[in-house]
């Protein structure tokens, strides 16, 4: 059975304090999700610059790092499927990150797209692959598995004509590095997401899912900007992607949206998306 999960970042507007976080996690469980993916910068105290960066980006995380997330998660009955972490932090403090992941019962630590790297430069991408292999080996020695999560920047092409994502797939060792595939960003970059899933095969351990479409109503001009949508309300062929993910043995499907929620409510949004997953993921 594929695990149905949600990314903690989607919950940030409705976890302003521990009481609110407890209510929200219960709503997550009641909707049909059985797991959550955490973020290192949201479950422990961080330098002031981190919440400031998220605030300036219009996606503030508030004081979530001060909460007792171990107790909140335990009380909710949700499983922690993985933890998003910074590559530099893993290389600097691998044992701490291993201990933290184990304390939450997570098998995976996930690195998201690296803004410090030039994904259009072959040498830079190869250097990133080397660092991923090193970090993955360190975690593997402690019994934790490393995954790489893409955005759209990895589908830029380097001098050879390959995409950065192809190079990362070729240059990383499957023993130490595998993937959390985000189909939304691959589609945003013009890729065939189902084909990429088949290329990843068993290296795609987790799948980030989102839909994409246009919510705007009325006369707004001939060209509109698309955005994330609740699952089943957009135009991505999610049923085909679900079948492809299942065929390749994906362990968990993880919902993540950052904005454009129905009625501006992340709770209503994940509840609506859960209706789709409850119907099609479990069929």
Q: What is the pLDDT of residue 58?
A: 59
Q: Measured between alpha carbons, how far is 274 from 283 in angstroms, rounded to an integer?
A: 13
Selection from 61, 106, 78 nearest residue 22 by Cα: 78
Q: Does domain 3-280 sit in CATH 3.20.20.150?
A: yes
Q: Measured between alpha carbons, how far is 202 from 150 in angstroms, rounded to an integer?
A: 16
Q: What is the pLDDT of residue 212?
A: 96
Contact of 172 with 127, CB cutoff 8 Å: no
Q: What is the pLDDT of residue 61?
A: 66
Q: What is the pLDDT of residue 15?
A: 94
Selection from 195, 198, 200, 199 nearest residue 180 by Cα: 200
| Burial classification of residue 120, based on how many CB atoms lie within 10 Å of its CB (0-12 exposed, 13-18 middle, 19 or more buried) | middle
Local structure of 271: helix, strand or coil: helix
Distances (CA, A) of 179 to 76, 110, 200: 27, 8, 8
What is the residue whose two structure tokens read 């904005």? 259
Selection from 66, 93, 72, 95 nearest residue 25 by Cα: 72
Q: What is the pLDDT of residue 82?
A: 98
Q: What is the pLDDT of residue 103?
A: 98
Q: What is the pLDDT of residue 267?
A: 97
Instruction: Print pLDDT tens along the chain (283 aa).
Output: 899 999 999 999 999 999 999 999 999 999 999 999 999 999 998 655 556 566 555 566 677 889 999 999 999 999 999 999 999 999 999 999 999 999 999 999 999 877 778 999 999 999 999 999 999 999 999 999 999 999 999 999 999 999 999 999 999 999 999 999 999 999 999 999 999 999 999 999 999 999 999 988 888 778 888 899 999 999 999 999 999 999 999 999 999 998 899 999 999 999 999 999 999 998 7
Contact of 263 with 230, CB cutoff 8 Å: no
Q: Measured between alpha carbons, how far is 37 from 177 in angstroms, rounded to an integer?
A: 18
* Total Cβ atoms within 10 A of residue 235: 12
Selection from 13, 14, 17, 6 nearest residue 39 by Cα: 6
DSSP for 176-236, written as a single string: TEEEEEEHHHHHHTT--HHHHHHHHGGGEEEEEE-EEE----S---S----EEE-TTTSSS
């Amino acid at each position: 059975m594929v695990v149905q999960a949600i990314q903690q970042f989607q919950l940030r507007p409705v976890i302003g304090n521990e009481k609110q976080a407890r209510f929200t996690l219960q709503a997550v469980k009641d909707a049909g999700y059985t797991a959550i993916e955490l973020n290192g910068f949201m479950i422990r105290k961080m330098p002031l610059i981190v919440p400031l960066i998220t605030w300036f980006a219009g996606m503030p995380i508030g004081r979530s790092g001060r909460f007792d997330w171990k107790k909140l998660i335990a009380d909710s009955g949700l499983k922690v499927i993985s933890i998003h972490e910074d590559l530099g932090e893993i290389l600097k403090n691998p044992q701490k990150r291993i201990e933290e992941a184990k304390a939450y019962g997570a098998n995976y630590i996930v690195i998201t797209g690296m803004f410090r790297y030039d994904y259009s430069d072959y040498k830079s991408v190869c250097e990133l692959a080397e660092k991923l292999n090193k970090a993955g080996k360190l975690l593997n020695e402690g019994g934790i598995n490393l995954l790489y999560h893409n955005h759209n920047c990895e589908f830029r092409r380097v001098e050879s004509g390959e995409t950065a994502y192809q190079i990362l797939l070729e240059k990383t060792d499957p023993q130490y590095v595998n993937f959390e595939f985000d189909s939304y960003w691959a589609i945003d970059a013009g890729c065939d997401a189902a084909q990429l899933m088949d290329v990843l095969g068993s290296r795609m351990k987790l799948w980030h899912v989102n839909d994409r479409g246009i919510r705007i109503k009325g006369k707004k001009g001939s060209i509109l900007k698309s955005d994330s949508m609740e699952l089943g309300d957009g135009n991505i062929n999610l049923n085909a992607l679900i079948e492809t993910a299942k065929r390749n043995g994906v362990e968990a499907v993880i919902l993540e949206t950052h904005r454009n929620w129905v009625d501006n409510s992340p709770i209503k949004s994940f509840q609506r998306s859960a209706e789709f997953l409850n119907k099609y993921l479990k069929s």
